[in-house]
Structure 1
Amino acid sequence: MAGRGRRIVLWRHGQTSWNLERRFQGSTDIELTPAGVAQARRAARLLAALRPDAIVSSDLGRARATAAELAALTGLPVESDAALRETYAGVWQGLTHDEIIERHGAEYAAWKRGEPVRRGGGELETEVADRAAPVVLAQADKLPDGGILVVVSHGGTIRTTIGRLLGLESASWEALGGLTNCCWSVLGEGARGWRLLEHNAGTLPEPVLGDDD
């Protein structure tokens, strides 16, 4: 049985062209921009200093490319898992923020109020947590005492996973702000479960660009 003191670093992927265009990516497989690769390399140098024990990543290209930069510095293998993908958002995917407001304004407003909404006919946020959180916990259970797991994923998936692991009601998950590209949040294991130690760490004075902004 794993001991106390484990940490989970939830790291969002680097910048993509759809982030810049404010297009909803969801599960669409969009690659990193050159700037996104540079972000991943910079962040990887910081995260490598933590001496993580394991890396697991979404199987989408933008997450795998981000994870690869940390793997290159640490020598750790990267385990990919489709359960860590971003929220599938149906017809919203590929639309800009303004197009979503124009075409699906009532649905968007209900989501922002914390109501359970299948954005674009896609997944509920609780369904994203249902698939992602168990993977994160299973990987964390493999850690030694005081071990560190790096999870490379997506803004919405990270937020819902944090909410689930902290035991928050799903209607309040929106209270957790979004993550800037290539920034991360840290959960630490305490006597009464997981605690949020850092959120959107590593951020520069840049806006949050993505599905979860």
Structure 2
Amino acid sequence: MSGGGGYARKVVLWRHGQTAWNLERRFQGTTDIELTEGGVAQARRSARLLAALRPDAIVASDLLRTRETAAELAAVTGLEVSHDENLRETYAGAWQGLTHDEIVERYAEQYAAWKRGEPVRRGGGELETEVADRAAPVIERNVEKLPEDGTLVVVAHGGTIRTSIGRLLGLQPGTWEALGGLSNCCWSVLGESVRGWRLLEHNAGSLPEPVLGDDD
């Protein structure tokens, strides 16, 4: 999805670069994993693109993979990064460190319930609504500090970004899965309009093109 103009403030929600556990399809959660060399290269490339949006502020999760990603944007914009632990990925207890196949094998019923959109404490960890409860207010507080046409970049994690978007758009939690996941170092963009937040882009990896049509 691409968005045009006409929006006051914008929020760019940027997922961190690739890690070894991403490649292994291993659930990271709050485990502190660094970027691979490829992940650093992804962050560097994306940072050059995002810098063209002329962001006014950067806030990031305090985990290493997001710190390293955010540092690449800070290097090309000159902005300082503020870090907030409330932007961390979902804590998933016993699921953390397991591969996707291991989770499906050991926690089949729990996994299926989560995929159906039911409130599930994966591995005994957080509910998705609890992740949104802690992360969305961080975004809102930082947006309030922006100028009227300002842009905030939030460097976080796939699950945290998805649940935060769902909360900010006012969607019912059972529908948040419909937003889909973000690839490493891709981003989504929210625009502030008179009717609240609108999703302008999702899982993008290039600069947005304006919407030219009847729905703009």
Partner of 1:210: none
Question: Matches of 1:99 and 1:177 in 2, distance apart?
Answer: 22
1:107 matched to 2:110? The reply is yes
Residue 141 of structure 2 is aligned with which of 119, 129, 138? 138
* 1:201 pairs with one of 201, 204, 213: 204
Q: Identify the residue that residue 53 of structure 1 maps to in structure 2.
A: 56
Q: Name the SS for the 2:130 alignment partner.
A: helix
Please show how residues 98-177 of structure 1 align to structure 2 within 5 Å.
Answer: 98-177=101-180
Q: Which 4+ runs in 1 deviate beyond 3 A?
A: none
Partner of 1:29: 32
Q: Could you give the per-residue CA deviations for residues 43-89 of structure 1, whole angstroms, max 9, x where no partner exists?
A: 00000001100000000000000000000000000000000000000
- Work out the percentage of aligned pairs sharing the same amino acid: 78
2:183 to 162, 165, 180: 180
Residues of 1 paired with 2:88 and 2:9: CA distance? 23
Runs of 5+ consecutive residues of structure 1 not aligned to the other structure:
204-213
User: In the alignment, which residue of structure 1 is the partner of 2:87?
Assistant: 84
Q: Name the CA distance, whole Å, in 1 between partners of 2:147 and 2:110.
A: 44
Q: CA RMSD in A?
A: 0.7
SS of the equivalent of 1:123 reads: coil
> Match for residue 9 of structure 1?
12
> d(CA) in 2 for partners of 1:137 and 1:45?
25
Find the aligned partners of 1:155 and 1:47 in 2 and give their Cα distance.
18
SS of equivalent residue, structure 1 residue 146: coil
Aligned pairs, how many?
Answer: 200
**Structure 2 CA distance for aligned equivalents of residues 171 and 102 of structure 1:** 24
1:168-190 deviations in Å (ceiling 9; x for gaps): 00000000010000000000000
What is the TM-score of this pair, normalised by structure 2?
0.92
Unaligned residue ranges in structure 2 (runs of 5+): 1-6, 207-216
Give 1:10 shift.
0.1
How much does 1:14 deviate? 0.0
Letter in 2 for 1:69: E
SS of alignment partner, residue 44 of structure 2: helix
Matched, 1:74 2:77: yes
Residue 19 of structure 1: CA displacement?
0.2
- Aligned AA for 1:9? V
CA distance in 2 between counterparts of 1:174 and 1:52 reads 28
Paired position in structure 1 for 2:193: 190
Q: For 2:190, what is the secondary structure of its paired residue?
A: strand
AA aligned to 2:178 is A
The Cα of 1:164 is off from its aligned counterpart by 0.1
Residue 69 of structure 2 aligns to a residue in which SS? helix
